[in-house]
Amino acid sequence: MTGKYAVPLRRLYIRLLLAVSIPLILVSTTLLPMLHVHMETRIDSLHAEAKAVLKVGQEALTRDINESLNYALAIAEMPALRRYLDAQHASLLTEPHYSLSELAQLSNFLDTLISHYPRYTKLVLIDNQGYEVLRAPQSAETGPRVAANQHAKTDYFIEASKLLPRDLYISPPGHNLQYELFGDDVIPVVNVSTPIFSATGERQGVVLLSLNWNYLTTALYQSMRLDQRADAVLVDAQGRWLLNSATTLTLGAVNFGGSFASLAPRYWQAMQQRNEGNATVDNHLLRFQTEDIRTQSYRSLAGNIFSEPSHYPWKLGVVLPQPSWRTLLDEETIVLWFLLLTYAVAVAFGIFWAISGQRQRQLRQAAQRHAIEVSDLYENAPCGYHSLDKNGRVVKMNRTELNWLGYSADEVIDRIDYRELITPETRHQFDQAFENVLQHQKGSAECSLRTRSGEQRHVMIQASAYHRNERFVHSRATVFDLTERKQLEEKLRAQAMTDPLTGVFNRRYLQSQATIEMARARRHNQPIALITIDIDHFKQINDDYGHDAGDEVLKNFTRVVAELLRQEDLLCRVGGEEFAILLPNTTLTQATQVAERIRQTVALNAVNITEASLEKTLWLTASLGVTALLNNEKSLKAALKRADIGLYQAKEGGRNRVIVNSSL
């Protein structure tokens, strides 16, 4: 990557980073609080759900146990049972009062009663000595039966034997001896026992009612209507699991009687700290409360309920998964899609912004470069540019023209009228052209500009009008500097008209100028004369002193003659050492006088030359012919001929003389 592109690319990367991160941040800061509120609402509803589920469970447990206890009490208070026990008691003393058929009836009745309620596994009638008197169902022969006289050692018998009427003893669920085999499954049971008293208040024995704990806890599950995500918890005071053996999602595999405290210590710890409340454990909400079946809410018709104190109170709870962002998005896919779409749109917008920004930047830079180039072209063009408002005031001028004029932009723009820069001689042309431009035409003029230093620049101005909404805004002019060309032309023209050795005009110029002067003389009816001059013996000078000396003599001669003439007189070199003078507004007499003065002055002026490093002085003479131009003459030819005849005669006459030839 070259350095040229490194910076723009880095800038693009930064813009892309911003374009992605800023929308993400903006969308997040907008959406996340909404989602947070949504989440809190779900958590609140989860709390409400947990509370409701727990209440239902607690009511179901209370109701089922309550019914079971009342059932035990009802059986204990059955008159038939009492009578039977009375009969049993009497028979031990004397003879039985209770017939065998009555016993069979009672047994069948209890059998039917227990068989129809799967909540109970057995009913056992025990006498005061701990002997089993009656059992229902009679077919419950499965599992290790407590020996007939062994009830005396059981907690339910011992504890119930101490109780008052209507008091109940409830064994903790699932103690070894209380296990009963029920089909192929070992099921936990709770033994409920209550004393039986005769009508006279004598203690007659104990009724044992074993509750199918599985049945009760299954009913608890069902009443709580827990789905697969949720778990019910019922543990005793030591943290032993009191529900069915089960595998739960939250708590793992747990068996009835297993140690919940060691299986789920964090839950157990949370439950130990308070009697009831909520706790969040491992992203799950645990709601729990204490349950004690010995309390009034359970005992209903019973007097007091006794049990193993170390087992109480129980803790009943429900565990529900806390809603997480993941579950929220899993469950509410529309929210997920909305989020993804919002982020995607935001990021797409950001990327579009970054790329279009980059593109705009490149276009802006290109436009700037272009503007600089155009400006550079405008300012430094080889020609001048300017714009004028409708009054001729300068509103714009490029550097080239400013440099020509010697002004700064501040001194010109909006300050001066362009006409001020134009010489009075050429202002008319400019005004004409500018008027054309104002009339929506093109205008051009060749003018002279006066620069700050007083020099003149000859220029060609070509202008047109700039309109906006068909209204004149300003003129746009291109200015070409013709000064150099003009100077060159003049130089060439001068060279074409001038003799290079002496600097005086040549024959061609004499002829062209003579035509003008002759016309003017005619117009003004003025005389005009011509003198021709030839240096005498000039060849001898060349021969004696060399060609350079001859040139020097020619220049000297010209200088001397020119000084004797008026400004309007035209001295020309028409041949090697031949000269002619056109004298406007001069009569023949005056011309003759001029010629004579020339002859005398030349003759009196010595010429110093250097030959072989030695200074030499030469004396010259010249012969002159004079004539007057005639009014009707159109060219100089005839006059030259006349003057030459005069000159020839002067030579012939001995040289150094003036001969006037006025004849035709």
| Least spacing, CB of residue 614 vs ligand GTP, in Å | 19
Catalytic site residue from 132, 291, 517, 577: 577
Using CA atoms, how far apart are residues 206 and 535, in angstroms rounded to an integer? 184
Q: Which is nearer to ligand GTP, 267 or 545 (CB)?
A: 545
Q: Which is nearer to ligand GTP, 252 or 576 (CB)?
A: 576
Q: Single out the residue of 179, 224, 191 nearest to residue 58, CA to CA.
A: 224
Alpha carbon separation from 471 to 413, 425, 433, 442, 478 (Å, rounded): 22, 32, 19, 16, 21
| Least spacing, CB of residue 401 vs ligand GTP, in Å | 47
Residue owning tokens 């599985």 = 214
| Least spacing, CB of residue 647 vs ligand GTP, in Å | 9
Residue 29: other Cβ atoms inside 10 A: 9
Active site residue 577: yes
Q: Which is nearer to ligand GTP, 132 or 536 (CB)?
A: 536
Q: Which is nearer to ligand GTP, 304 or 610 (CB)?
A: 610
Give 637-660 as a 3 state SS string: HHHHHHHHHHHHHHHHCCCCCEEE
Alpha carbon separation from 239 to 269, 311, 320, 353, 480 (Å, rounded): 10, 9, 20, 63, 111
Q: How big is the CA angle at 554 (ends 549 and 560), to the nearest 5 degrees?
A: 125
| Least spacing, CB of residue 574 vs ligand GTP, in Å | 11
Tell me the three state secondary structure of residue 574.
Answer: coil
Helices 3-76 and 213-224 pack at an angle, to 10 degrees, of 130
Q: Which is nearer to ligand GTP, 159 or 534 (CB)?
A: 534
Q: Which is nearer to ligand GTP, 382 or 500 (CB)?
A: 500
Q: What kind and span of H or E run contains 123?
A: strand 120-127
Alpha carbon separation from 59 to 3, 52, 222, 519, 616 (Å, rounded): 80, 11, 12, 146, 158
| Least spacing, CB of residue 548 vs ligand GTP, in Å | 7
Q: Footprint of ligand GTP on this chain (CB under 6 A)?
A: 501, 534-540, 542, 547, 550-551, 554, 576-577, 651, 655
Q: Which is nearer to ligand GTP, 402 or 535 (CB)?
A: 535
Q: Is the dihedral of CA 37, 43, 45, 47 positive or negative?
A: negative
Using CA atoms, how far apart are residues 68 and 209, in angstroms rounded to an integer? 9
Q: Single out the residue of 360, 299, 44 nearest to residue 163, CA to CA.
A: 299
DSSP E strands in 408-470: the ranges are 443-450, 456-468
Using CA atoms, how far apart are residues 209 and 189, in angstroms rounded to an integer? 10
Tell me the three state secondary structure of residue 383.
Answer: coil
| Least spacing, CB of residue 537 vs ligand GTP, in Å | 5
Q: Return all residues near 565 (Cβ < 8 A) that are at least 6 apart.
A: 571, 581, 583, 594
Beta bridge partners of 617: 608
Name the DSSP class of 536.
T
At residue 119, φ and ψ (nearest 5 deg) are -65, -25
| Least spacing, CB of residue 504 vs ligand GTP, in Å | 13
Q: What kind and span of H or E run contains 155?
A: helix 155-160
Name the DSSP class of 144.
P
| Least spacing, CB of residue 381 vs ligand GTP, in Å | 48
| Least spacing, CB of residue 648 vs ligand GTP, in Å | 10
Catalytic machinery residues? 577
